[in-house]
C-alpha cells in the first residue's frame, strides 16, 4: 500500500494501490505516517507520489464505512489526523508530485505538503460532504491557502477543479506537462535541500505554528463524532457505496 524509497538525500513515499486509485485504508493511513517519519530521519526532503493514473482518490470509503459501526470514529479520526497533518509536523520539506486525481484525503495531502507540482490534466476535489463526512485538514488549513469562499465551494459541492485552477488558487506551486513532472519535482526538491537543515526546520516550525495548538486535534476529531450517527450522513455513505442507487 505504501512504498518507501531512499535515493541520496530524497525519500520518496508512494501511495501504491493503483487498482483502487491509491485510496487510503485505515492501515494505510498508519503506514503513511510511519514512512513519513522515517523519511524525516533519513532524508533532507520527502516526495509524495501516487502509483498508476491517480495521485490519491481519498479514503477507501468501503474500508472505513459505518462510522458508528466496525470502525470507531475515534480510531478513524486519529489515523486521519496523524496522517494528513503529518507533512506540516516533520522538519524536512515535503513535496507532492501530482499526476491524476487528488480527491478527498489525496487533496488534503497535496494541501498539507510544503510544495506541490501537478501534471496538466490532474484534478482536485473535496467530495467528503457528499458522502456524509468532512475533510479535517481542509477545514483547518485550506482557507488560508485558497480563500474561504473557494474552500466552501470545494467542500460543499464536491466538484473537481483542474490543475490550472488549483495553481491559481495557491494549492500547487507549478503545473507542468506530464512528461516534465519528474524534472520539475526534482528541481524544486533539490533547491529545497540546498538550505541548511536547521534553517529549513525553523522555517517550517514557524510557518506551521498552528500545528502546535494542543486544542486543534481535539476540535477536529470532534467533527467525526458529530457526523458519525447522523442518519442523513449514514444514508449518503450507503448511497455512495451502492453506486448512487
Catalytic residue chosen out of the listed positions 34, 70, 88, 108: 108
User: What are the tens digits of pLDDT across the range 151-196?
Assistant: 999 999 999 999 999 999 999 999 999 999 999 999 999 999 988 9
Percent of the chain, pLDDT > 90?
62
**Could you confirm whether 180 is annotated as catalytic?**
no
34 carries an active-site annotation: no
**pLDDT at residue 67 is higher than 50:** no
Q: From the candidates 9, 91, 120, 128, which is the catalytic residue?
A: 128
pLDDT band at 212 (very low <50, low <70, confident <90, very high): low
Per-residue confidence band for 66, with pLDDT thresholds at 50, 70 and 90? very low
103 Ramachandran zone, left/alpha/beta (phi>0; psi -120 to 50):
beta
How do residues 121-155 score in pLDDT, each as one tens digit? 999 999 988 888 888 899 889 998 899 999 999 99
- Flag whether the pTM goes above 0.85: yes
Q: How far is CA 230 from CA 40, 59, 223, 234, 236, in A?
A: 39, 20, 12, 6, 10
User: For residue 146, what pLDDT is reported?
Assistant: 93
- Give all domains of the chain, ordered by start, each with its CATH number: 2-179 (3.90.226.10)
For residue 244, what pLDDT band results from cuts at 50, 70 and 90? low
Find residue 33's DSSP bridge partners: none
152 vs 71, residue with greater confidence: 152
- Mean pLDDT for the stretch of residues 224-235: 74
- Which cell numbers in the block locate residue 93? 520539506
Amino acid at each position: 500500500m505504501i512504498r518507501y524509497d531512499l535515493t541520496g538525500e530524497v525519500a520518496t513515499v508512494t501511495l501504491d494501490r493503483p487498482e483502487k486509485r491509491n485510496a487510503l485504508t485505515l492501515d494505510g493511513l498508519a503506514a503513511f505516517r510511519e514512512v513519513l517519519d522515517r523519511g524525516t530521519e533519513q532524508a533532507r526532503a520527502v516526495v509524495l507520489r501516487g502509483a498508476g493514473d491517480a495521485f490519491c482518490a481519498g479514503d477507501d470509503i468501503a474500508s472505513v464505512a459505518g462510522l458508528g459501526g466496525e470502525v470507531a470514529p475515534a480510531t478513524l479520526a486519529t489515523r486521519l489526523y496523524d496522517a494528513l497533518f503529518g507533512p506540516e509536523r516533520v522538519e524536512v520539506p515535503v513535496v507532492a508530485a501530482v499526476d491524476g486525481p487528488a480527491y478527498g484525503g489525496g487533496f488534503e495531502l497535496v494541501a498539507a505538503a510544503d510544495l506541490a507540482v501537478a501534471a496538466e490534466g490532474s484534478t482536485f476535489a473535496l467530495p467528503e460532504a457528499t458522502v456524509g463526512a468532512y475533510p479535517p485538514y481542509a477545514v483547518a488549513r485550506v482557507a488560508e491557502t485558497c480563500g474561504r469562499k473557494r474552500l466552501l465551494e470545494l467542500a460543499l459541492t464536491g466538484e473537481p477543479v483542474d490543475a490550472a485552477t488549483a495553481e491559481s488558487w495557491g494549492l500547487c506551486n507549478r503545473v507542468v506537462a506530464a512528461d516534465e513532472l519528474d524534472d520539475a519535482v526534482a528541481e524544486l526538491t533539490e533547491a529545497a535541500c540546498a538550505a541548511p537543515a536547521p534553517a529549513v526546520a525553523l522555517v517550517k516550525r514557524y510557518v506551521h505554528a498552528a500545528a502546535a495548538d494542543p486544542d486543534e486535534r481535539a476540535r477536529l476529531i470532534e467533527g467525526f463524532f458529530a457526523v458519525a450517527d447522523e442518519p442523513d450522513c449514514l444514508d449518503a455513505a450507503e448511497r455512495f457505496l451502492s453506486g448512487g442507487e
